[in-house]
Amino acid sequence: MMQRAALMLAATALGFVPVHAQDDTASERIDPDIAAANAALDAAPVFDGHNDVPIQIRARFDNQLVNFDFTDTSGTADEESGRNAMHTDIARLRTGKVGAQYWSVYVPFRLPEPEAVKMTMEQIDITKRLIAKYPDDLALALTADQVEIAMAEGRIASLIGMEGGHSIGSSLAVLRQMYALGARYMTLTHNSNTPWADSATDDPKHGGLSDFGRDVVREMNRIGMLVDLSHVSEETMLDALEVATAPVIFSHSGARAINGHARNVPDSVLEKLPQNGGIVMVVALPGFLNDAEREWFASRSAEEARLKSLFRGQPDIVTSAMAEWDEANPTPETMISHMADHIDHIKSVAGIEAIGIGADFDGMPIGPVGFEDVAGYPALFAELSRRGYSQVEMELISSRNAIRVLRDAERVSSSLRSQPAIETLIPEAE
């Protein structure tokens, strides 16, 4: 017992508290910040903005639920395919005090648009069937009220988010039907441009949103679908904020001032968020959090390109040399503290009401040390408590801001109910 306590104290001193490895009562006796985190998350369970379980079910199980056990996915590692075990299951969601989750119905962004539309519908189907298979633990939620009801019942409110505007096939009619099927946000792009919006990670084509793209934002506001600006360019973010009459979200992004990755949100946008009422749901992907890891990856990519140029047609030499480089240059560790740094910065620029959590579990290889899977949210909030965040502030970050944004979008939609559907067609030339 003394040895276990000593280990726990050492872990606390290092900033890593494996909350899911012990019961709450024992951990709270060791660290009052864990007690504060648990109190906040018991009052306002986590409402996470982005989780990729649906595409994992497709990739690993061909969208067949008969062999998929969502109560425990810890044994889903596959050495042959090189896949790690999944980050998410009901047991760990419970340990992580998750009360609501946007499940991403991502489909590959390089698909032709008609195929993307079809596959998105299939992913909505698998998500709904997954929810229906576990009615004691999961509840489909379409409104803010339904989120709160599910939480009060002790079930995990399950919402659907589309990741990438390619999923609507440049059609406002398809957009409306996706909403009717249950989608409650759409990320305007993924890693490449759509025919009407620029991505953060593609060469700019439209200078932000095209005229049709602006109509997409207007129609999303009209029907009550949240506009998600993760993955889009800075110009697209600013254009969307100019057009939007409802709060926007960034379902899984960080702060660019802390890590310069293009996927993160620049201060020029953060400064405008309070007026819009939107939120940045802070991501856990290490390369977006720790700038040292971003620079490490750039150096590794440059070294690999150099070796391939020097040893053309000799892949064995390249592989051997890269193995030596990796041994000499280990990946920098990303900690929970890096994630908290992004939260601190967003708070300083946009305010506490502009922050949420959107970890991106099962859409990345692994999270930060101590936050490797969905069981780790209490450890993050213990870190926030150490930094002086009050219980009220932690509750806003965990779920109250996300619920408020969803409810505000519903309110805007209700006010626009008398307006007819926008019937713009994307010009053939675009």
Instruction: Provide the 8-state DSSP code for 377.
Output: H
3-class state of residue 313 by DSSP = coil
Note the Cα 197 to chain centre separation in Å: 20
Asked if 228 and 251 touch (Cβ cutoff 8 Å), the reply is yes
Asked if 122 and 181 touch (Cβ cutoff 8 Å), the reply is no
The single residue of 20, 87, 190, 261 carrying the catalytic annotation is 190
| Closest by CA position to 185, among listed 266, 251, 278, 97 | 251
Catalytic residue status for 252: yes
The single residue of 20, 206, 231, 338 carrying the catalytic annotation is 231
**DSSP codes, 105-173:** ----TTS-HHHHHHHHHHHHHHHHHHHHH-TTTEEE--SHHHHHHHHHTT-EEEEEEEE-GGGGTT-HH
Catalytic residue status for 69: no
Catalytic residue status for 50: yes
The single residue of 52, 362, 383, 393 carrying the catalytic annotation is 52
Instruction: Provide the 8-state DSSP code for 422.
Output: P
| Structural element, H or E, at residue 226 | strand 226-228
| Structural element, H or E, at residue 101 | strand 98-104
Alpha-carbon span 70 to 67, nearest angstrom: 10
Note the Cα 291 to chain centre separation in Å: 19
Alpha-carbon span 259 to 291, nearest angstrom: 5
Residue 22, amino acid: Q
The single residue of 219, 234, 360, 393 carrying the catalytic annotation is 360
The single residue of 20, 87, 166, 252 carrying the catalytic annotation is 252
The single residue of 50, 87, 261, 338 carrying the catalytic annotation is 50
The single residue of 33, 163, 373, 393 carrying the catalytic annotation is 163
Catalytic residue status for 78: no
Residues belonging to the chain: 430
How far is CA 273 from each of CA 67, 238, 257, 269, rounded to the nearest angstrom?
44, 10, 16, 7
Which residues are within 8 A (CB) of 285 and not within 5 positions of it... i.e. 6 or more apart? Answer: 252, 360, 363, 364, 367
Catalytic residue status for 304: no
Residues annotated as catalytic are 50, 52, 163, 190, 231, 252, 360
